[in-house]
């Protein structure tokens, strides 16, 4: 088949030959066999690609035509069967056969895969397939050469299958026109296609010369096909094509191949015979000729009009492209003007009959005629620059075009022209910027640089001008090198001659480096290091000159030479000094009492005589000897070696005491000290100093044995005291317990007084025992510090509550102050912190008769002793208790925190005490990673402090403003300035407007008859005990002045109790707080008083409640339940049973673990109290046996009783199966807590402890 190649702007006459209607002669052919009936009566549907030139193509009118369309029309004419031709993109062609929307598919290439489901008709053409690639690409010749590239191909085509098979990534297109259009706009450098349609479409698009093709990749035959097994349809179609005469088929082929179409001058003999018969009658022939000529004239006139229209359109297109060329010729013009001219050129190239609007966008600029109109039907062509879309051309037709494909190609060519010019302009701008950047770099470089052309300077940067002393407006450009140089150089050569020779050598060799003397502008001669570099450009040689001022360098070299001479003289002098020093050191070395040796590679290089004396070796035999001979075995010889050399390598001094073996076999203890000659390389040698310490070692051994005996005695003492805890607490438990029971009976006043004194003495005795036992636990290392969460205000309240009654009795002022930056929520051991503070507070109360006791907390920086106990997130707090007591002298302060020590004997006699409390505080602080201390002045007072390491939780350190108190006026009346200032500061931080006075009289002076009502207080906080007018009288007087509706009031008192509550209620006071005042509690009470809850409006006094009657024990949730008490001490059994009976419980007792087991097997109990240490069977063993019972009795709650507050007792009890335990003596409060916890709810049982409870010790 001939090559079909027609340019987009080919001569219209050639195009006309393709569009003439087909006129072919007919000939007689044999009739086919009877065709299949049925579904063929209504005709058949033939599907074929929408573009496969010359078989199918779209003409300028937008209609489908081509060789196969003509063949099928002729087939329909011959068979009488209607044919509907459907043109679809190639990927959908075979799909129409699959979904039965078409009967026959045409223009299908034969492949093995398709024969599996298609039946093929006879082949009527052959086609070759190749790769088409942009002429700028090299090395493309087969499928292997395009691996890694994206290759265009039609979907579901043989190209796609072969590309995938070869491992090449295909870029799929729905149609040939979409593929070719992508190539037109420069976005498809390589594609795969049949050569005939590809050549036709590339030529028509005007880019045939841009693409080259590879040798044929594969060939195939073209067929029409039907579904597999449809033999009737296959035969019918084949018979129909056999009805078409060969001459008819040839005529159609020639028409679409560009050959002549058979007509009047191409008649065969049969037709000539018939023509001669027709011409027999001249008249008839003349008439026929006239009719024929008239018909041909009409055709010619129509063709002329068509050709003229097409020619005009081609001229418009050429004009469009020419004007686009002119519009983009000067890209320096404003971009909006260029885009406007491009749009105008497109208007001129578009068909006259089609009105359109254009939008041109390029690199952020835009010419827009479309505006906000809908552009879904618009034609859009991207403007691609270096593979990226930098703009686009959008054309919206207001009337439909008859040749959309040709017009779209025109837009592609315009876009390609604009992209090329824009790329050129962008490249030019980048070059200009690069040149400007180079020029600026050259001019502003710190390196002095100039350019020589033909022996003269043509350019010099600022650094060069400045280096040679040329100021603003001055230059040496235009001069020769010798004109800015002295007449002769330092070697005597004339500067002119030498400069010309050096420049010539630089041009010949490429570069030249040398030293040169120049003249500065002021005539000064300076020495430079010069680098000449020759650069050839456009046939011209430029020599770049780089200068470096080396005048200072030369001066430095001369100075260095002089210094070297001086240094050599000093070295000679120093050598003499070293020689003298060596002689002196050698004398010292020989006379030293300690043994000294230089050791290299663990062999003695040299040593002094003293080393020979210590080791009893002859001096000469030591030299060169291995140090192994001085050790009893290899292990002791190698011991510490790595550590020693590592330390010496770091520049340190290694020290160690070791035992060596002398020549006679005896041993000697020596103290070794070693250091490296060169710490960077200890292998160069090490110096060892050995000192005989045999006598010292013997004395230390004796001291160590004595110390071990003392430590063993101390441990035995501590263990004895720890084991005595049980025996000591048992009688105390009985004394305090029975006293507590007696206090609940009817007694006379003197009997109650006696019992209170017994109770007080018993508690004091228990405190002494606790101090002694705590100290023993600390010394024995058995005291554990807990890590639990607590709130600081609550802990401080617990501590000060212990002395609140004593403070009130002595009429002292107790102040608690927490800095605003101290965290309120902490993790630590609150029990031990409270113990430290209670010791401090108790001592302060004991030694203070009047004045103030202050407990303060602030942040602290740990000392070297305390730092490092916790991780970096530790918070160190400084707890301090200050008093105005008797104070101490420096000697007394020095004895503080020592066991069994007080200030002096008279103090012990006057104030009492064991002197253990502060020693325990010191030990507890150390265990918590802190330290303690005291500062004191005799007659003024003391401050005991402790710095403790804790962990903070959250960031709630400083109290924020409370909206309920913001701007509210509060009056404080307190005679103690410190307490008043603390409360005032806390309320002011909360936002209140606070006024503080020191007495009731000062408070009354604030309110006079003409006082401004806006200045009257909205709440009053008054201290109860004040000199002159106390708090009650003050409040009465204030109410009289303030009228019928006085503001709410709060009374501050140092001691609570029902008597104070009754007094508050009787005086109509709204609330009360206990001193020292907790700011948060006071703020909360003020908020409730100033903003009362509407739901409790009937309550006039919110914070004060009258006393409630005691609870009825029979109403307790555990009343009536059975409890077994197991204790070997009869008094303790009786006491526990009595206390349990007061709780309405039924009790039984047992004297040991074995008896408890027997009683449990015979009776049912709800709870067991089990002593730990008992004869016959201990409480631990009894608990284990109870837990081993298979019945429900094995799960009964067991509470351990111990007289030892030891951690080991708690752990052993929990491991044995106890649920909880109490440290004797048992108090009513502890007992109630345990009962509520384990039998306070119905059915409460436990097979094993569910948690690790804290021991319920007295005072908890």
* Least reliable range by pLDDT among 204-208, 518-522, 885-889, 1081-1085: 204-208
Q: What phi and psi values does residue 948 have, to the nearest 5 degrees?
A: -125, 145
Helix, strand or coil, per DSSP, at residue 476: coil
Under the banding of pLDDT at 50, 70 and 90, the label for residue 30 is: very low
Structure tokens at 1181: 């063993």
Q: What are the E-state strand segments in 989-1093? A: 993-997, 1019-1023, 1049-1053, 1071-1074
Count CB neighbours of 581 within 10 A.
11
Nearest to 1110 by CA among 736, 752, 744, 749: 744
Rounded Cα distance, 1234 and 489, in Å = 111
Match 């003392």 to its residue by tokens: 710
- Is 455 or 902 the better-scoring residue by pLDDT? 455
Convert the pLDDT of each residue in 86-129 to its tens digit.
998 888 899 999 999 999 999 999 888 899 999 999 998 888 99
pLDDT beyond 50 at 29: no
Cα 149 to Cα 61: distance, rounded to the nearest angstrom: 37
Cα–Cα distance list, 96 to 89, 109, 110, 234 (Å): 11, 16, 17, 17
CATH superfamily name and code, 580-696:
PAS domain (3.30.450.20)
Q: Is the confidence at residue 609, as pLDDT, over 70?
A: yes
DSSP designation for 488: B
SS3 string of 688-711? EEEEECHHHHHHHHHHHHHHHHHH
DSSP three-state, residue 1206: coil
How many C-alpha atoms does 498 have within 13 Å on its Cβ side? 18
User: What is the H or E stretch that residue 1041 is in?
Assistant: helix 1031-1042
Q: Flag the least confident range among 84-93, 616-625, 1248-1257.
A: 1248-1257
Q: How far apart, in whole angstroms, are the C-alpha atoms of residue 943 and residue 961?
A: 32
User: CB-based contacts of 627: which residues, under 8 Å, 6+ apart?
Assistant: 599, 602, 603, 604, 637
3-state secondary structure 1096-1138: HCCCCCCCCCCCCCCCCHHHCCCCCCEEEEECCCHHHHHHHHH
User: 271 — phi, psi (to 5°)?
Assistant: -70, -35
pLDDT at 1042: 81
pLDDT at 414: 87
Going by their DSSP bridges, the two strands 1167-1171 and 1198-1202 should be labelled as parallel
Can you list the positions of beta strands (E) in 476-557? 511-519, 525-537, 540-549
Instruction: Give the span between the Cα atoms of 254 and 264, in whole angstroms.
Output: 16
pLDDT at 155: 85
**Tens-digit pLDDT profile for residues 419-463:** 888 887 777 777 778 777 777 777 778 888 999 998 899 999 998
DSSP secondary-structure letter at 993?
Answer: E
Tens-place pLDDT, residues 556-589? 888 888 888 888 888 888 888 888 777 777 777 7
Q: Is the pLDDT of residue 794 over 80?
A: yes
Q: Where are the alpha helices (DSSP H) in 268-281?
A: 269-278
Instruction: Judge whether residue 11 has pLDDT over 50.
Output: no
Q: Which of 1007, 1032, 1008 is nearest to 1017 (CA)?
A: 1007
Fold of 969-1090: Rossmann fold (3.40.50)
251, 268 Cβ separation under 8 angstroms: no
Q: How confident is the model at residue 852 (pLDDT cuts 50, 70, 90)?
A: very high
User: What is the pLDDT, as a whole number, of residue 284?
Assistant: 65
* Distance, CA of 812 to CA of 1054 (rounded, Å): 9
Question: Options 3.30.200.20, 2.60.40.10, 3.40.50.2300, 3.30.450.20; which CATH number does 457-552 get?
Answer: 3.30.450.20
Give residue 264's pLDDT: 35
Q: How confident is the model at residue 289 (pLDDT cuts 50, 70, 90)?
A: low
For residues 231-254, average pLDDT: 90
Superfamily of domain covering 1122-1239: Response regulator (3.40.50.2300)
Render pLDDT for 1046-1055 as a digit per residue (tens, 0 to 9).
899 999 998 7
Q: What is the pLDDT of residue 105?
A: 96
CA distance linking residue 226 with residue 233, whole number of Å: 7
Share of the chain residues as helix, strand and coil, in percent rounded to the nearest 5? 45, 20, 35
**Is the confidence at residue 770, as pLDDT, over 80?**
no
Class of domain 785-863+872-952: alpha beta
Place 277 in a pLDDT band, splitting at 50, 70 and 90: low
Strand order from edge to edge, sheet including 1071-1074: 993-997, 969-973, 1019-1023, 1049-1053, 1071-1074
Cα separation of 438 and 425, whole Å? 20
Closest CA to 1140 of 1158, 1164, 1166: 1166
pLDDT above 60 (res 1246)? no
Strands 64-65 and 57-58: antiparallel
Q: CA of 474: how far to CAs of 460, 465, 466, 530, 545, in Å?
A: 11, 8, 10, 22, 19
pLDDT of residue 279: 60
1259: tokens are 């005072």
Report cis status (omega within 30 of 0) of the bond before 414.
no
275 vs 1005 pLDDT, higher one = 1005
Domain 305-432 in CATH: superfamily?
GAF domain (3.30.450.40)
> Which alpha helices (DSSP H) does 268-403 contain, by range?
269-278, 282-327, 335-349
Q: Worst-scoring range by mean pLDDT, 149-163, 241-255, 760-774, 1181-1195? A: 760-774
- pLDDT at residue number 68: 93
pLDDT at residue 864, as a whole number: 59
Report yes or no: 451 and 544 within 8 Å, Cβ to Cβ.
Answer: yes
Average pLDDT for 458-482: 90
DSSP state of 1047: P
Report helix angle 917-927 to 830-847, nearest 10.
150
Q: Is the peptide bond before 807 cis (omega within 30 degrees of 0)?
A: no
Please state the pTM of the whole predicted model. Answer: 0.41
Is the per-residue pLDDT at 745 higher than 70? yes
Contact 1020, 1035 (CB under 8 A): yes
Looking at 582-710, which runs of residues are DSSP E strands?
A: 595-600, 603-607, 654-661, 667-676, 686-692
Rounded average pLDDT over 832-839: 89
Task: Compute CA distances 1032 → 485, 807, 969, 1069, 1072, whole Å.
Answer: 109, 20, 21, 9, 12
Give the pLDDT score at 285: 58
Sole residue written with tokens 């265990």: 927
Instruction: Please tell me the predicted confidence (pLDDT) of residue 932.
Output: 92
User: Whole-angstrom Cα distance, residue 1141 to residue 1119?
Assistant: 9
Average pLDDT over residues 821-845: 90
Peptide bond into 1076 cis (omega under 30): yes
With a pLDDT cut of 70, the percent of the chain lying above it is 83
Tell me which architecture the domain covering 44-244 has in CATH.
3-Layer(aba) Sandwich (3.40)
Alpha-carbon dihedral of residues 342, 344, 346, 351, nearest 10 degrees? Answer: 180
Q: Look at residue 1101 in the predicted model and tell me its pLDDT.
A: 46
Domain edges within the chain: 44-244, 305-432, 457-552, 580-696, 785-863+872-952, 969-1090, 1122-1239
The pLDDT assigned to 1204 comes to 67
Nearest to 193 by CA among 209, 169, 216, 221: 216
Least-confidence region, from 179-188, 257-266, 1000-1009? 257-266
Chain mean pLDDT for the chain:
81
DSSP conformation class of 766: H
Higher pLDDT, 243 or 956: 243
Give me the helices (H) in 744-803, please: 749-779, 792-801
Same topology, domains 457-552 and 580-696? Answer is: yes
Alpha-carbon distances of 564 from 123, 489, 554, 555, 1071, rounded to whole Å: 103, 29, 15, 14, 94
pLDDT of residue 1028: 87
| Predicted local confidence at residue 896, as pLDDT | 76
Report which of residues 1260 and 613 the model is more confident about: 613
Distance CA 1230, CA 120 (A): 104
The CB density around residue 485, as the number of other CB atoms within 10 Å, is 20
Which pLDDT band, with edges at 50, 70 and 90, does 411 fall under?
confident
Give Cα 1043 distance to the centre of its chain. Answer: 65
Confidence of residue 133 (pLDDT cuts 50, 70, 90): very high
Smallest CA-to-CA distance from 927 within 848, 869, 987, 975 is with: 869
């Amino acid at each position: 088949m001939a090559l079909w190649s027609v340019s987009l702007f080919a001569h219209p006459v050639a195009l006309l030959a393709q569009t003439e209607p087909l006129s072919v002669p007919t000939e007689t052919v044999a009739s086919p066999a009877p065709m299949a009936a049925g579904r063929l009566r209504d005709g058949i549907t033939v599907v074929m690609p929408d573009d496969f030139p010359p078989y199918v193509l779209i003409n300028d009118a937008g209609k489908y035509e081509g060789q196969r369309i003509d063949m099928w029309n002729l087939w329909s004419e011959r068979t009488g069967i209607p044919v509907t031709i459907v043109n679809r993109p190639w990927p959908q062609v075979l799909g129409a056969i699959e979904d039965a929307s078409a009967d026959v598919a045409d223009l299908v290439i034969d492949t093995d895969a398709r024969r599996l489901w298609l039946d093929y008709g006879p082949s009527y053409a052959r086609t070759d397939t190749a790769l088409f690639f942009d002429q700028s690409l090299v090395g493309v010749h087969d499928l292997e050469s395009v691996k890694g590239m994206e290759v265009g191909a039609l979907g579901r085509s043989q190209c796609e299958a072969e590309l995938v098979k070869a491992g090449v990534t295909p870029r799929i297109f729905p149609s040939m026109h979409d593929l070719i259009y992508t190539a037109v706009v420069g976005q498809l450098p390589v594609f795969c296609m049949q050569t005939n349609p590809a050549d036709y479409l590339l030529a028509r698009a005007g880019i045939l010369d841009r693409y080259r093709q590879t040798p044929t990749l594969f060939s195939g035959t073209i067929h029409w096909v039907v579904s597999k097994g449809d033999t009737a349809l296959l035969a019918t179609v084949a018979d129909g094509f056999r009805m078409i005469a060969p001459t008819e088929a040839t005529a159609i082929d020639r028409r679409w191949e560009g050959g002549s179409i058979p007509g009047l001058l191409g008649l065969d003999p049969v037709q000539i015979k018939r023509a001669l018969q027709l011409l027999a009658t001249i008249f008839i022939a003349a008439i026929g000729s006239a009719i024929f000529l008239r018909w041909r004239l009409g055709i010619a006139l129509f063709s002329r009009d068509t050709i003229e229209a097409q020619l005009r359109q081609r001229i418009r297109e050429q004009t469009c492209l020419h004007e686009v060329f002119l519009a983009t010729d000067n890209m320096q013009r404003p971009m909006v003007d260029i885009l406007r001219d491009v749009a105008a050129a497109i208007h001129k190239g578009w068909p006259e009959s089609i009105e359109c609007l254009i939008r041109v966008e390029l690199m952020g600029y835009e010419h827009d005629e479309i505006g906000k109109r809908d552009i879904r039907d618009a034609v859009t062509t991207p403007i691609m620059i270096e593979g990226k879309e930098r703009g686009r051309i959008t054309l919206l037709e207001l009337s439909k075009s008859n040749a959309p494909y040709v017009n779209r190609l025109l837009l592609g060519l315009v876009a390609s022209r604009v992209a090329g010019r824009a790329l050129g302009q962008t490249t030019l701008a980048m070059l200009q910027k690069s040149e400007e950047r180079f020029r600026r770099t050259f001019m502003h470089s710190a390196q002095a640089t100039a350019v020589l052309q033909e022996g003269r300077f043509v350019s010099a940067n600022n650094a060069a001008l400045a280096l040679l002393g040329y100021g603003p407006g001055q230059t040496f450009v235009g001069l020769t090198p010798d004109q800015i140089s002295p007449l002769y150089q330092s070697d005597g050569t004339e500067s002119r001659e030498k400069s010309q020779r050096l420049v010539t050598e630089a041009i010949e060799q490429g570069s030249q480096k040398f030293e040169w003397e120049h003249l500065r502008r002021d005539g000064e001669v300076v020495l430079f290091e010069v680098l000449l570099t020759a650069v050839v450009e456009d046939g011209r040689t430029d020599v770049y000159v780089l200068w470096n001022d080396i005048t200072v360098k030369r001066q430095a070299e001369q100075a260095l030479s002089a210094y070297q001479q001086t240094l050599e003289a000093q070295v000679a002098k120093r050598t003499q000094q070293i020689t003298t020093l060596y002689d002196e050191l050698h004398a010292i070395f020989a006379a030293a009492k300690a043994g000294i040796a230089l050791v290299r590679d663990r062999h003695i290089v040299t040593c002094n005589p003293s080393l020979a004396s210590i080791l009893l070796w002859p001096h000469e035999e030591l030299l060169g000897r291995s140090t192994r001979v001085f050790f009893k075995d290899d292990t002791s010889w190698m011991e510490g070696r790595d550590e020693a050399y590592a330390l010496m390598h770091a520049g340190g001094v290694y020290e160690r005491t070791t035992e060596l073996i002398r020549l006679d076999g005896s041993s000697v203890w020596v103290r070794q000290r070693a250091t490296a000659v060169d710490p960077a390389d200890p292998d160069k040698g090490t110096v060892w100093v050995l000192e005989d310490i045999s006598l010292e070692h013997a004395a230390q051994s004796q001291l160590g044995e004595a110390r071990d005996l003392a430590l063993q005695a101390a441990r035995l003492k501590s263990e004895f005291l720890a084991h005595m805890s049980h025996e000591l607490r048992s009688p105390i438990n009985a004394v305090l317990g029975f006293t507590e029971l007696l206090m609940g009976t009817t007694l006379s006043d003197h009997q109650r007084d006696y019992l209170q004194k017994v109770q007080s003495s018993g508690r004091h005795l228990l405190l002494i025992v606790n101090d002694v036992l705590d100290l023993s636990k600390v010394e024995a290392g058995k005291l554990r510090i807990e890590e639990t969460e607590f709130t600081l205000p609550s802990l401080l309240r617990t501590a000060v509550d212990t002395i609140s009654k004593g403070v009130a009795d002595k009429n002292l002022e107790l102040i608690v102050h927490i800095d605003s930056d101290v965290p309120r929520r902490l993790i630590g051991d609150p029990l031990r912190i409270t113990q430290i503070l209670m010791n401090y507070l108790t001592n302060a109360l004991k030694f203070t008769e009047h004045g103030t006791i202050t407990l303060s907390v602030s942040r602290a920086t740990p000392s070297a002793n305390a730092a490092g106990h916790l991780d970096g997130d530790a918070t160190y707090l400084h707890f301090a208790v200050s008093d105005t007591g008797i104070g101490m002298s420096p000697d007394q302060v020095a004895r503080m925190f020592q066991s069994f020590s007080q200030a002096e004997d008279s103090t012990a006699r006057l104030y009492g005490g064991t002197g253990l409390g502060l020693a325990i505080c010191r030990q507890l602080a150390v265990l918590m990673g802190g330290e303690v201390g005291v500062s004191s002045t005799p007659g003024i007072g003391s401050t005991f402090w402790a710095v403790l390491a804790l962990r903070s939780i959250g960031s709630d350190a400083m109290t924020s403003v409370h909206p309920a108190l913001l701007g509210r006026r509060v009056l404080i009346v307190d005679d103690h300035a410190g307490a008043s200032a603390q409360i005032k500061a806390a309320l002011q931080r909360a936002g209140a407007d606070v006024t503080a006075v020191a007495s009731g009289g000062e408070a009354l002076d604030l309110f006079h008859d003409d006082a401004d009502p806006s200045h009257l207080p909205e709440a009053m906080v008054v201290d109860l005990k004040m000199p002159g007018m106390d708090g009650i009288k003050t409040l009465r007087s204030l109410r009289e002045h303030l009228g019928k509706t006085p503001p709410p009031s709060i009374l501050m008192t140092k001691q609570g109790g029902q008597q104070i509550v009754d007094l508050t209620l009787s005086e109509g006071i709204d609330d009360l707080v206990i001193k020292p005042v907790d700011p948060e509690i006071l703020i909360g009470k003020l908020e409730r008083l100033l903003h009362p809850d509407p739901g409790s409006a009937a309550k006039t006094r919110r914070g004060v409640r009258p006393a409630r009657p005691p609870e009825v024990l029979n109403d307790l949730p555990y009343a009536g339940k059975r409890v077994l008490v197991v204790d070997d001490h009869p008094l303790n059994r009786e006491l526990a049973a009595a206390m349990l009976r007061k709780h309405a419980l039924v009790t039984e007792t047992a004297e040991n673990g074995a008896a408890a087991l027997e009683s449990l097997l015979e009776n049912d109990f709800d709870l067991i109290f089990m002593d730990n240490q008992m004869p016959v069977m201990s409480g631990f063993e009894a608990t284990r046996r109870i837990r081993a019972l298979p019945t429900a009795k094995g799960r009964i709650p067991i509470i351990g009783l111990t007289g030892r507050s030891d951690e080991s007792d708690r752990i052993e009890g929990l491991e044995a199966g106890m649920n909880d335990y109490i440290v004797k003596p048992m108090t009513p409060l502890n007992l109630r807590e345990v009962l509520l916890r384990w039998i306070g709810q119905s059915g409460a049982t436990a097979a094993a402890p569910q948690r690790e409870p804290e021991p319920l010790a007295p005072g908890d």
